[in-house]
Amino acid sequence: MTERNLYGTAAVSALAMALVLSAPMAEAQERTPSGTLTIGWQWDPSTMDPQMHRQRYTQIISHNMRDKLFYQEPPGLTPVPLLAESLEQIDETTYEARIREGVLFHNGDELTAEDVVFTFQRLWAEETNSPRAGMGNMRNIDSIEAVDRYTVRWHTAVPFGPPASAVVGLHLTGQEILHKATYENLSMEEARTHPPMGVGPFSFVEWVPEQRVVMDAFEDYWQGSPLVERITWRTIPEEAIRVAELLAGSVDMIFPVTPDFLGQLQSANVKLEVVPGTYMRMVMMNVREGSPFHDPEVRRAMNYAFDRQAIVDFLYEGLANVNWQIPGSGQEGFIEGYVPFSYDPDKARPILSQITEPIEMYVESAWELPAQVVAEQLRGYGMNITTVVLDQASFNARNEAGEFDLLFAGGGYGAGTFLGAYYNNHFDCSRFESNRIRTGFCDPELDALERQAAAEADPVLRREYTDEIVRRLTEVHMPWVPMFSPSDVWAMQPHVEGFAGSSAGQFFNMHEVSVGN
Amino acid sequence: MLNFILHRAGQTLIVLFGVTLIIFFMLRVMPGDPVALMFAEGDDEDIGAARAEFERALGLDRPLYVQYFVFLGDILRLNFGNSIVRGGEPVLDMVARALPLTIELSIYALLIALVIAVPVAILSALKQNTVWDRGGTAFALIGVSLPSFWQGIMLVMFFAVWIPIFPVSGVLDTRLSITRVTGAPFTDAVLTGNWEAAWSVLRHMTLPALTLGTGICGQFVRVLRSSLLEVKHQDFIDAFRARGLSERAVVRHMLHNAMPTTAVIIGLRIGALLSGTIVIETVFAYPGMGYLLIQAINARDFPVVQGVVVLLTAMVIAANLMADIIHGMLDPRVKLSGGRGNK
Amino acid sequence: MMHVSVPKRRGRPLPNIIVVFAVTTLVFFAILAIFAPWIAPHPPNAQSLMMRLRPPGTEGYWLGTDQLGRDVLSRIIHGARISLAIGVVVMVLTAMLGVVIGLISGYFGGWVDTVIMRIVDIWLAFPFLVLAIALVAVLGQGPDKIVIALVLSGWPGFARPVRGEVLQLREREYTLSARALGVSPFGVMFKHLLPNVMPTVLVLSAVDLGYNILALASLSFLGLGIGAETATWGGMLASGRNYVATAWWLAALPGIAIFLVVISSNLIGDWLRDRYDPRSPFRQARNQSLAEARAAKAAQSAQAPTQPNA
């Protein structure tokens, strides 16, 4: 067990980080923005109201104009204080956050606890009907109140654990803070397109839907003025065109970059920013009766069957991590150095060659290539596998209905947690009630252990329970064959400096980015 | 004439009713639904409850027939609903944004098609059954025989990589902006006298318009050529020749007489033109109606798909009706009757 | 079409050489399709990650390899199979379904005709691709599903022109006398009317073949193809599009194959039209609207008398 992943130490490091982050403010006054940065990326934000969507890309636009209380730092996805200086646990079900003083909105107003309280109350209000209202564990929050101008307090219905895990449960990492005076007077329809007012590094200029979002540097940003004057986010859905535009010099940076283009970009005069991904690919197996994968020995053989390294080396030019356990690296519950399986065709063949019935493996079109390699490797053992490519919606429907034998699927862990939402969504028996069958795996005993671990206040015990869950899932139940996590890749012109990618494909430090010459 | 229009209006209502029925239930039978897709991203402790609540607020938990009648009632009051995926954006706003783009693209493509088709057809008709004629006919077939998305991709690569004279994506240079008047970028730029922006829009639209235009110009060549041939052998043309008119003037007279039929056929091709834009707009990520439709289908954004399909079909029907009426006015030999059938 | 107005109608309006080219091309691809497993140098799905993206001319891989190290030549040869098979099967089924519906509609007239024609209107007003996307999503992937989707969306293209012909033919003397002699409605339809609409059907079919192959490719591009393991031209083209700048052969070669087959079937269609269906320049348009057909008819009947040798 490594101490790095302990919740307790995470909280300590989070507090330490607060001090570090306040440092740049001193030199902030010296910075003057210059130059423009054009980013070509796949998406168009769906709304300017940060509470009416669940899309990461819409949030990226939003959080460049509106800071949150916390965000998650790439290595280990540790929560880092942003607008909150700290989060304290007053008693089992009460948490208190201290808001930074002197932080200014784009219109010059100072950020107060009232804005924070308003943000969350609007989010939970029935009239809002926000799809984000229940994110994290926010359903179990009773109330929120402003204690004084800079202090906010949450009361929860159930214990949320130590501050570092409560940050995620309270969803303080996922809610951009709104300007109360602006938003309390807007109808939902108006808020959809109203120029975002926040305390973020950039202020809104224009949004031409499906074409571009433009934002200008906010020179009074509390962490110091951004270094570029203007950022234009251009919507370029087709990757071939994104790459062409980057190579032609008409955009400065592109995201995302998929393996199809890695070779071409690596040989061109561009910089690549590579960050370990938080989206694990796995082969899900239907563990229910009637499926050839009902037998655990077959699932064990499957875990030995794949040459993951070959996929990573050839298809991803090495820019992906091989996975051998259910949690991905950087995720809570990941056990350092735990590699229970290996690529061992001799162990796989005797069992897999017995399975001769035709089997369809479903995959979304974006992941067709690795899925075909996986299918070909299985065919090598004599299995009769066909890859079937589905659109995202149909794929999702099949996944939820459990209508498959094999599924080349993915699991995102951008929040970094394993216990709670992630476990519930993939493994907990309760998911059957809302018709999310997935692999059909269900073990009440393991669920009980998960609840025990989640409620455990002692970090050492909590870690111990989590390890047990992970090992049992990975080695005993084996509903998945963990495969690999592709890295998040940004490509940019050599003159773009200071950009640091964040895992989960975020753009967190745009105010530190500058364009040379 | 009035009888004809009333009769057609009645038919149109029946067709539109059928379209609402098909698109509504087709979407419900398709696997996947917008809320499930939306909630597949992000972490909720109790995602089942969160989803159910969101669905209830949107009325998606009601029986299907109730949802259908609500949709039908809304459409009758010209309320096309709000997008689920795009945070409640009104469908009409999305259409108002996309439609002008598609219309401008289509007109540009039509012009390109005509510029290619008219000389080819004239050449073919005048030199009937010569090598010129055959070459022209074969040439006309090339555009129809290439997958439009392949043409699009090849053009993109050609102009992006080798000869970068046309921008390969987007609608307008990011440095520029246009004051919104009608929503159609080129028209607005011209109306506001913003010539730099107008030029930029034109350049951005060239590649998709070229792809779309070559796809339809084959049709035009065929139709125009055969119309010209029919005119060519009519008495008055012989009379013109006998009177010693120059060949140029004769051709002008021939065109003048062949154009009405061709114009009507073009009017009637609007449906096909709009269908063609679906794939091409997707290739070029040109945010018109086709692109909007594909995006909405992929996200299973029910209200958007329903609204766009109903509006698109209504437009196609209206365009056909207008073409019929204009044809009737241009060509007095055609009688518009209220009866059914082809007689 | 255009040759109507020529005093003497010629039997071969297009020079033989073009038709010969078109027929040869189709036969060539048909042979590739039929004998694919014996002709193709490699199995179409054999991957070799070590041999990814080799250019044409690589030893053992004449046309290069794709992003999974599969032989492009073998995939094109096997792709001919599925592309042509689907094109032909859809053509035959669409024609059959469309002709039967068109015959019924035109022969019986009255409310039967009204109902069928309204359905045709709805079908034609509906964007074809949306229909196909929805059908594929509902039915799932696979060659059979694609065939169903294309047939279901394509039949009005046959039904309406056939019905238009039948409306005229049913008033002809031989039809009337057959009916007077007590021949059953279906007897009249299939013995007397069908042979007379065959030329139209033939012309429509030839164009339909090319159209189906293009539609199949378009569906592949939109991610609604046959299935990852089945080599299809459309699928190869769609998955090769990300490599246009680095491995042009992936998208270019199957594109050329599609082009050759489609233009051949279009050329044959044109030739057939000139031979059998000289009057109508308008019927060539598939998915033409009802109004279009009507306008065409009106235009024809109006213009017919002015034709010199009519």
A477 or A31: which leads in pLDDT: A477
Rounded CA-CA distance C76/C40 in Å is 9
Other CB atoms within 10 Å distance of the CB of residue A455: 14
The answer to whether residues C206 and C268 touch, using CB atoms and an 8 Å cutoff, is yes
Closest CA to B43 of A433, A440, A393, A423: A423
Residue B96, chain A, CB below 8 Å: the answer is no
Report how many helices (DSSP H) and strands (DSSP E) chain A contains, helices first.
16, 21
In this prediction, residues C278-295 reach a mean pLDDT of 41
Residue A369, chain C, CB below 8 Å: the answer is yes
Closest CA to B139 of C270, A384, A173: C270
Contact across the interface for C227 and A244, Cβ inside 8 Å: no
Other CB atoms within 10 Å distance of the CB of residue B247: 9
In this prediction, residues A30-55 reach a mean pLDDT of 93
Q: How far is C262 from chain A (nearest CA, A)?
A: 26
Residue B328, chain A, CB below 8 Å: the answer is no
Return the pLDDT at C281.
Answer: 42
In this prediction, residues C272-294 reach a mean pLDDT of 49
B69 or C204: which leads in pLDDT: B69
Return the pLDDT at B176.
Answer: 84
- Chain segment C39-82, per-residue pLDDT in tens: 999 999 899 988 899 999 988 899 999 999 999 999 999 999 98
A111 or C12: which leads in pLDDT: A111
Q: How far is C223 from chain A (nearest CA, A)?
A: 7
Residue carrying structure tokens 């706003």: B93
Picking from B47, B49, B160, the nearest residue to A425 by CB comes out as B47
Rounded CA-CA distance A495/A514 in Å is 8
pTM of the complete model: 0.88
Q: How far is C302 from chain B (nearest CA, A)?
A: 6
In this prediction, residues A223-232 reach a mean pLDDT of 95
Find the farthest-apart pair of alpha carbons in chain B and give their distance in angstroms, rounded.
90
- From chain A, the residues in CB contact with C225 under 8 A are 389
Return the pLDDT at B226.
Answer: 80
Residue A223, chain C, CB below 8 Å: the answer is no
The answer to whether residues C287 and C153 touch, using CB atoms and an 8 Å cutoff, is no
Q: How far is B89 from chain A (nearest CA, A)?
A: 7
H helices of A222-330, in order, are 239-248, 259-266, 296-305, 308-310
Residue carrying structure tokens 């040459």: A307
Q: What is the dihedral of CA C302, C305, C307, C310, to 10 degrees?
A: 130
Closest CA to C90 of C137, C26, C158: C158
Contact across the interface for B222 and C13, Cβ inside 8 Å: no
Phi, psi (deg, nearest 5) at residue C259? -60, -45
Contact across the interface for C113 and B340, Cβ inside 8 Å: yes
The answer to whether residues A268 and A247 touch, using CB atoms and an 8 Å cutoff, is yes
Residue C294, chain A, CB below 8 Å: the answer is no
Q: Which of A470-474, A481-485, B43-47, B102-106 has the lowest mean pLDDT?
A: B43-47
Domains in chain C and their CATH numbers? 71-280 (1.10.3720.10)
- pLDDT reading at C294 higher than 50: no
The answer to whether residues A234 and A212 touch, using CB atoms and an 8 Å cutoff, is yes
Radius of gyration of chain B (CA): 24
Contact across the interface for B41 and A412, Cβ inside 8 Å: yes
What order do you get walking across the sheet with A320-322 strand by strand? Answer: A320-322, A480-486, A279-285, A406-412, A358-364, A384-390
Residue A206 forms beta bridges with which residues? A214
Domain boundaries B91-342, corresponding CATH code: 1.10.3720.10
Give the start-end residues of each E strand in A92-210: 94-99, 141-148, 151-156, 202-208
The answer to whether residues A51 and A122 touch, using CB atoms and an 8 Å cutoff, is yes
Instruction: Tell me the ipTM for this assembly.
Output: 0.88
Rounded CA-CA distance A224/A201 in Å is 8
Share of chain B above pLDDT 70, in %: 94
Contact across the interface for C127 and B275, Cβ inside 8 Å: yes
Phi, psi (deg, nearest 5) at residue B68? -65, -45
Residue carrying structure tokens 């010099």: A249
Rounded CA-CA distance A61/B219 in Å is 45
Q: Which residues, 6+ apart, have CB-to-CB distance to A364 below 8 Å?
A: A389, A390, A391, A392, A395
The answer to whether residues A98 and A35 touch, using CB atoms and an 8 Å cutoff, is no
* 3-state class (DSSP) for residue A253: strand
Picking from C52, C137, C229, the nearest residue to A391 by CB comes out as C137
Residue carrying structure tokens 């709304």: A47
H or E stretch covering A39 = strand A36-41
Tokens standing for C298? 């009106």
- From chain A, the residues in CB contact with C53 under 8 A are 263
Rounded CA-CA distance C211/C201 in Å is 15
- Chain segment A143-179, per-residue pLDDT in tens: 999 999 999 999 999 888 888 888 988 999 989 999 9
DSSP secondary structure code for residue C60 in this structure = T
Give the helix, strand, coil percentages of chain C, each rounded to 5: 70, 0, 25
The answer to whether residues A172 and A134 touch, using CB atoms and an 8 Å cutoff, is no
Phi, psi (deg, nearest 5) at residue A286? -80, 115
Rounded CA-CA distance A278/A330 in Å is 8
- Chain segment A19-37, per-residue pLDDT in tens: 333 434 444 457 889 999 9
Picking from A134, A238, A245, the nearest residue to B44 by CB comes out as A134
Q: How far is C65 from chain A (nearest CA, A)?
A: 14
In this prediction, residues C2-21 reach a mean pLDDT of 56
Residue B174, chain C, CB below 8 Å: the answer is no
Q: How far is C39 from chain A (nearest CA, A)?
A: 23
Q: Return the residue of C nearest to A264 by Cα.
A: C246
B317 or A183: which leads in pLDDT: A183
Residue A256: is the preceding peptide bond cis (ω within 30°)?
A: yes
Tokens standing for A325? 């356990």
Tokens standing for A446? 């393991």
In this prediction, residues A41-60 reach a mean pLDDT of 95
* 3-state class (DSSP) for residue B312: helix
Confidence of residue B124 (pLDDT cuts 50, 70, 90): confident
Phi, psi (deg, nearest 5) at residue B301? -80, 85
Contact across the interface for A369 and C67, Cβ inside 8 Å: yes
Q: Which residues, 6+ apart, have CB-to-CB distance to A212 below 8 Å?
A: A206, A232, A233, A234, A235, B174
Output the CA–CA distances (angstroms, integers) from residue A297 to A326, A350, A478, A482, A513, in the order listed. Answer: 17, 11, 9, 16, 52
Chains touching A (at least 3 CB pairs under 8 A) are B, C
- pLDDT reading at B21 higher than 90: yes
Rounded CA-CA distance C186/C179 in Å is 11
Rounded CA-CA distance A299/A286 in Å is 10
A230 or C296: which leads in pLDDT: A230
The distance in angstroms from the start CA to the end CA of chain C is 13
Rounded CA-CA distance B122/C201 in Å is 29
Phi, psi (deg, nearest 5) at residue A361? -110, 120
Buried b (16+ CB within 10 A) or exposed e, A110-121: ebbbebbbbbbe
Rounded CA-CA distance B39/B49 in Å is 11
Task: Please state whether C256 falls in left (phi above 0), alpha (psi between -120 and 50) or beta.
Answer: alpha
Residue C239, chain A, CB below 8 Å: the answer is yes
- Chain segment C181-229, per-residue pLDDT in tens: 888 888 888 888 898 888 889 888 988 898 899 888 888 887 777 777 7
Return the pLDDT at A29.
Answer: 53
Return the pLDDT at B148.
Answer: 85
Confidence of residue A215 (pLDDT cuts 50, 70, 90): very high
Tokens standing for A106? 């784009």
Contact across the interface for C138 and B11, Cβ inside 8 Å: no
Return the pLDDT at C217.
Answer: 87
| Average pLDDT over all residues of chain B | 85
* 3-state class (DSSP) for residue C119: helix
Rounded CA-CA distance A458/B281 in Å is 57
Q: Return the residue of C nearest to A388 by Cα.
A: C227
- Every domain range in chain B assigned CATH 1.10.3720.10: 91-342
* 3-state class (DSSP) for residue A198: coil
Residue A488 forms beta bridges with which residues? A275
Q: How far is B196 from chain C (nearest CA, A)?
A: 31
Picking from A54, A238, A436, the nearest residue to B48 by CB comes out as A436
- pLDDT reading at A3 higher than 50: no
Contact across the interface for A240 and C244, Cβ inside 8 Å: yes
Rounded CA-CA distance A448/A194 in Å is 46
Chains touching B (at least 3 CB pairs under 8 A) are A, C
Contact across the interface for C47 and A376, Cβ inside 8 Å: yes
Residue B28, chain A, CB below 8 Å: the answer is no
Q: Return the residue of B nearest to C125 by Cα.
A: B313
Q: What is the residue-wise DSSP string for C85-104?
A: HHHHHHHHHHHHHHHHHHHH
Q: Return the residue of C nearest to B225 by Cα.
A: C2
Q: Which residues, 6+ apart, have CB-to-CB distance to A239 below 8 Å?
A: A42, A256, A257, A258, A260, A261, C242
Picking from C45, C52, C137, the nearest residue to A394 by CB comes out as C137
Return the pLDDT at C13.
Answer: 52
H helices of A259-362, in order, are 259-266, 296-305, 308-310, 345-352
Rounded CA-CA distance B42/B51 in Å is 12
Q: Which residues, 6+ apart, have CB-to-CB distance to A263 below 8 Å?
A: A317, C53, C246
- From chain A, the residues in CB contact with B30 under 8 A are 393-394
In this prediction, residues A260-287 reach a mean pLDDT of 92
Tokens standing for A189? 């329809």
Contact across the interface for C287 and B22, Cβ inside 8 Å: no
Return the pLDDT at A229.
Answer: 96
Rounded CA-CA distance C136/C22 in Å is 31
Return the pLDDT at B177.
Answer: 84
Task: Tell how strand A384-390 and strand A406-412 pair up.
Answer: unpaired
Chains touching C (at least 3 CB pairs under 8 A) are A, B
* 3-state class (DSSP) for residue A274: strand
Task: Using CB atoms within 10 Å of the CB of residue C139, give its burial: 0 to 12 exposed, 13 to 18 middle, 19+ buried.
Answer: middle
| Average pLDDT over all residues of chain C | 81
